Copies of this chain bind each other. A is one copy, B any other.
Amino acid sequence: MYKCSLERMSDKIKTFSKFGDAGHGGITRYSLSPEAIMARNEFIKRMTAIGAKIECDDVANLYATIEGSDPTAKRIVMGSHCDSVKNGGNYDGILGVMSAMEVLETVVAENIPHKHPLTAMIWTNEEGSLYPPAMMCSGIVCYDYLPEDIRQKFKYEDMMNSKSILDPTQTFGMALEKSGFKGDKKFRLSPDRYQYMFETHIEQGPILEDNNKEIGVVDCVLGMFNYRLKFYGQTTHAGTFPMPKRKDAFFAASEALVYLHTEIDKLVEKLGVPELVYTTGEVVCHPCVHTCVPDFFEFSFDSRHEKPEVLEQVLAIVKSCADKTWNGCKCEVVKAWNRDTVYWDKKLVSYVKAAAEETGVSHQYIHSGAGHDAQFCAYVIPTTMIFVQSKDGLSHCEPEYSKPEHCTDGATVMLNAVLKADAE
């Protein structure tokens, strides 16, 4: 049983928080931006210092590897991403990179015997904040192994042509060329060179904190569906059109949203599934002028649960919106995408659980509600994840926080789980 260093981990957290510091405790660090390149250079500097070999694949995924005692053994890789959303926090993504670095640093500092080469890695553009979509470069690397309906969203050419949301004259491909991190395709993570993948990440929810657990032993990424509800009304002038003749698409959508909450809450009660989540985060309103009745309103509907049979019943309620007229407006329910629950490798999950028990780190099983690069990787090689407690469950915002002690314990659990995998 080995332990990672609180001092070394705290130093990394402090150092990486500078790269893209947005002045209010958090960061803005878009993928391949100058700030992200500073973080990558820091990673290379520290990994080179412990004797790791640096490789970079053709979409800038960055790998630092220390050799093991068995020259025929495949690599065990740990990692996450170093890019953030706009005004994000200091932990989402980068914690998984720092934890991987910490594991390698501990192995070298304590001279821990291991057969397999151990790799710390950075995935490029997980957030997709500047160049959509999210999980772009794990999508590219794992492309051949992904289910058809997911795969089609990650075509290499499309990804290279993804436009910057800030400047449509710039593409991801252009940023990649300029970054200095475009390496060789032969270095891509692949099953012939890699054995297992571990990703440590902040929980991004309040469950571990509420249950007073440091670490989550993640067993799956929840299945989900994403639909759009569209309401079609008639625009008229705010001052001249009598109320009873109006077809107000925003009011229609509001009535439908209240209906959805009412009906889904009843279903949750009936099925006893309080863990079900659903979110209506994105809206479109047209013409969106204070003197016009909206003739169009749209909102996204995202729902997540482990069991497909639960999601099916939620979807039936969502679809029932299209059977009614809302304030004179027609409603259309359109599928955006869905994904099945991705279960982590059972053996690796058991290693994480055993490592947490042996190191005395408080823990519980947990599902991942969010998507991560690891979930694409799971189609390629056996993969699992470790969650670290989030303060107030907040993420993708500047108050995002995890205690350095918890971060260090997360790395300790990953180290010991990796050593179990190594010892097979």
Contacts and interface: CB of A to CB of B under 8 A. Distances in A.
Most chain B beta carbons < 10 A, residue from A278, A279, A336: A279
B242 A274 contact: yes
A189 to B, nearest CB: 24
A165 to B, nearest CB: 11
B370 A240 contact: yes
B302 A290 contact: yes
B288 A239 contact: no
A173 interface: no
A261 interface: yes
Most chain B beta carbons < 10 A, residue from A243, A244, A251, A336: A243
A250 B281 contact: yes
A278 B206 contact: no
Contact of A240 (B205, B258, B278, B287): B205
Stoichiometry, copies per complex? 2
Contacts of A397: 235
B369 A280 contact: no
Interface stretch (A151-159, A177-185, A388-396): A388-396
Contacts of A241: 204-206, 277, 369, 393
A242 B275 contact: yes
Contacts of A369: 237-241
Interface string A235-261: 111111111110010110111011001
Interface stretch (A37-45, A75-83, A291-299): A291-299
Contacts of A336: 290
Nearest to A302: B238
Given A205-B240, A206-B242, A245-B393, 6 more contacts: A204-B240, A204-B241, A236-B395, A240-B368, A253-B254, A254-B255
Complex A-B, nearest 10 residue pairs according to Cβ-Cβ distance, in ascending order: A239-B369, A205-B240, A254-B254, A238-B279, A290-B300, A240-B369, A204-B240, A282-B290, A254-B257, A239-B370
